[in-house]
């Protein structure tokens, strides 16, 4: 037995790719996964209209939906709301379309990598606060000895490219090492709009990093729109299949 997930990210309603979304929706209908996991950037500018479009699309999938917030999901134009209640609009969407995954094969644990502001500009890259990491580690501690595959979900990759001189996610190295030390098997994320699947090491601990591409028009580095089918069995057995959301494929 395996649990099957479809992992999407960076839909960016407001600049979404309608063709890619339709291809993903048809795949979800055909595959009938146990859940759809979207690791953030649900909207482009977190406007009410963009959130309404996201709610309509996710509600139409007819499978449990699990969401993480991305850096684009906090208000851009309403600075008062951004600083006083940055996740209000996101939480409204999550309450409306979010679901739960009950699985004998895999457990998903969220890690928040977004902040309302940070000591650099722009504020788009990841920032793992101490409180966010401690919350995730506490959830993972409860799972010690759990036979299921343990996957952490986040918007930003915890580590940068292997050859990059600097990690764009502040606190990412420490977070990766601490999470890997708990025995978690993988972290799935988005943000970079380019898919990846690799084993990485930090702080003497290794863990798999899996990234979905984007379903928006904001393509990067020649990578087409894409999403992943992830099949999970107990004991860290995780298989992934990249699907390009391209009409020509």
Q: Which pLDDT score, from 0 to 100, does residue 164 have?
A: 86
DSSP string covering 157-209, please?
-SS--TT-SS-SSBTHHHHHHHHHHTT--EEEE-SSSS-EEEEEEETTEEEEE
For residue 28, CA distances in Å to 31, 110, 171, 228 come to 5, 22, 34, 11
In which band, very low, low, confident or very high, does the pLDDT at 248 lie, cut at 50, 70 and 90? low
Q: Which pLDDT score, from 0 to 100, does residue 1 have?
A: 77
Contact (CB, 8 A) for 24 and 62: no
| Percent of the chain residues topping a pLDDT of 70 | 99
In whole angstroms, give the CA distance from residue 204 to residue 229.
29
pLDDT in tens, 131-189: 999 999 999 999 999 999 999 999 999 999 988 889 999 999 999 999 999 999 999 99
The CATH homologous superfamily to which domain 3-244 belongs is Metallo-dependent phosphatases (3.60.21.10)
Q: For residues 218-223, give the mean pLDDT.
A: 93
Q: For residues 67-71, give the mean pLDDT.
A: 98
Contact (CB, 8 A) for 65 and 40: no
> Would the pLDDT of 249 be above 70?
no
> Would the pLDDT of 63 be above 90?
yes
Nearest to 246 by CA among 225, 227, 219: 225
Q: Which of 87-91, 111-115, 165-169 has the lowest mean pLDDT?
A: 165-169
Nearest to 151 by CA among 65, 40, 32, 239: 239
All structural domains of the chain with their residue ranges: 3-244
Mean pLDDT for all residues in the chain: 96
> Would the pLDDT of 58 be above 80?
yes
């Amino acid at each position: 037995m395996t649990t099957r997930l479809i992992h999407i990210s960076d839909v960016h309603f407001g600049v979404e790719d309608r063709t890619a979304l339709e291809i993903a929706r048809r795949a979800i209908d055909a595959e009938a996964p146990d859940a759809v996991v979207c690791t953030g950037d649900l909207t482009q500018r977190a406007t009410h209209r963009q959130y309404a479009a996201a709610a309509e699309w996710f509600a139409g999938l007819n499978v449990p939906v699990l969401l993480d917030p991305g850096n684009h999901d906090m208000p851009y134009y309403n600075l008062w709301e951004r600083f006083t209640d940055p996740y209000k609009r996101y939480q409204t969407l999550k309450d409306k379309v979010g679901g739960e995954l009950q699985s004998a094969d895999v457990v998903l644990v969220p890690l928040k990598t977004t902040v309302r502001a940070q000591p650099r500009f722009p504020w788009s890259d990841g920032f793992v606060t101490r409180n966010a990491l401690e919350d995730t580690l506490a959830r993972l501690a409860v799972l010690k000895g759990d036979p299921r595959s343990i996957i952490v979900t986040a918007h930003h990759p915890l580590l940068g490219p292997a050859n990059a001189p600097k990690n764009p996610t502040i606190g990412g190295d420490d977070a990766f090492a601490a999470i890997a030390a708990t025995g978690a098997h993988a972290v799935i994320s988005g943000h970079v709009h380019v898919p990846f699947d690799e084993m990485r090491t930090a702080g003497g601990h290794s863990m798999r990093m899996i990234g979905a591409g984007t379903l928006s028009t904001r393509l990067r580095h020649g990578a087409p729109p894409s999403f992943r089918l992830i099949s999970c069995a107990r004991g860290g057995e995780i298989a992934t299949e990249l699907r390009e959301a391209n009409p020509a494929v």
